[in-house]
Amino acid sequence: MKKLFTLFVVMFAAAAFMANAAPKNEVKIAVAATGKTVAATVGDKIAKSSYFLICDGSGKLIEALDNPYKDSESAGPSTVNFLSQKGVKVVIAESFGPRITGLMKSKGMDYFEFHGTAEDAVKAFLKQK
């Protein structure tokens, strides 16, 4: 009985460890950017950003996307919905207003403010996590 209990505890601990370790690369980070490479400058606001660089939880660039809503009147809500549908959990830009952060939080998204290149922004976000 003692061996069975010990086996159960070890299996439970291993499962908990795997559950916490696995999602790291599944986190998607969107960087509002002025270009389609990680050398691009971080954009000032997400709603009117020309591009989004989507990175995984290790900082690897997955894809570069055009912002289809950058010229629309309701760019903020549309852009947040667009990124949420792409599975983005964190958005990086130079600044965020209270309305956009409220929309993001309602979608389970977080934000990070950064001035510099997209590559440096992702590194800084991952370092502070």
SS3 breakdown of the chain: % helix, strand, coil, rounded to 5? 45, 25, 35
Give the pLDDT score at 36. 98
Distance CA 49, CA 43 (A): 6
- Specify the DSSP class assigned to residue 40: S
Residue pLDDT, tens place only, 50-87: 999 999 999 999 999 999 999 999 899 999 999 999 99
Residue pLDDT, tens place only, 3-62: 543 333 334 333 333 344 435 568 999 999 999 999 999 999 999 999 999 999 999 999
Contact between 111 and 90 under an 8 Å Cβ cutoff? The reply is yes
Q: C-alpha distances in angstroms, 99 versus 3, 59, 80, 81, 108? A: 56, 27, 11, 14, 15
Give the pLDDT score at 129. 78
CATH number for domain 25-128, candidates 3.40.630.20, 3.40.47.10, 3.30.420.130, 3.40.50.12160: 3.30.420.130
Q: Domain residues of the chain, as ranges? A: 25-128
Nearest partner of 46 among 109, 102, 106, 92, judged by Cα: 92
Nearest partner of 85 among 97, 73, 72, 69, judged by Cα: 69
pTM for this entry: 0.80
